[in-house]
Amino acid sequence: MADDPLKNADRYAAGMEVRRKVLGDTHVDSARASATDLDGEFQDFITETAWGGLWTRPHFSLRERSLVTLSILAALGRDGELTLHAKATRNTGATMEDVREAMLHVAVYAGVPAANHAIKLIKQVYAEIDTEAGEGHQ
């Protein structure tokens, strides 16, 4: 990956820390290990900008950022990122009740079909999490 003279090493390090906290080491390590010349700089960019520049800001908690992110992804129909961030609720403190309320907002402001599809995907994620943990979401 090319050296970027504009890269803020501190923001990158902070971004990597919060990215690992939210998404987990397994996901981040996999994304880093599979990086190529095509997307290696992109991985650095999202770590520094999204995770280090946005997710580290102090006003919202990780829980609040998680809910905002899920809502935006649901509204835009970004299924892959939605399921990734639904899994991340295990790490952000966003509860099933929080996610339910967020999806009701999506239904009103972005449309019932968007929320319905997102809820279907989130239910699948929760079922996988429950299977792994031997638990059940109500």
Measured at the CA of 2, the angle between CA 55 and CA 47, to 5 degrees, comes to 10
Domain containing 123 equals 60-138
Do 38 and 64 lie in one domain? The reply is: no
1: pLDDT strictly greater than 50:
no
18: pLDDT strictly greater than 50:
yes
**pTM for this prediction:** 0.87
Averaged pLDDT, 51-69: 96
Do 55 and 23 lie in one domain? The reply is: yes
**pLDDT of res. 102:** 98
Q: Is residue 30 part of a domain?
A: yes
Q: Are 14 and 54 in contact (CB under 8 A)?
A: no
**Per residue in 88-112, pLDDT tens?**
999 999 999 999 999 999 999 999 9
Q: Are 89 and 53 in contact (CB under 8 A)?
A: no
Q: Select from 14, 70, 72 the least CA-distant residue to 47.
A: 14
Q: Is residue 1 part of a domain?
A: no
Burial label for 89, CB within 10 Å (0-12, 13-18, 19+), is buried
Distance in angstroms (rounded) separating the CA atoms of residues 3 and 125: 37
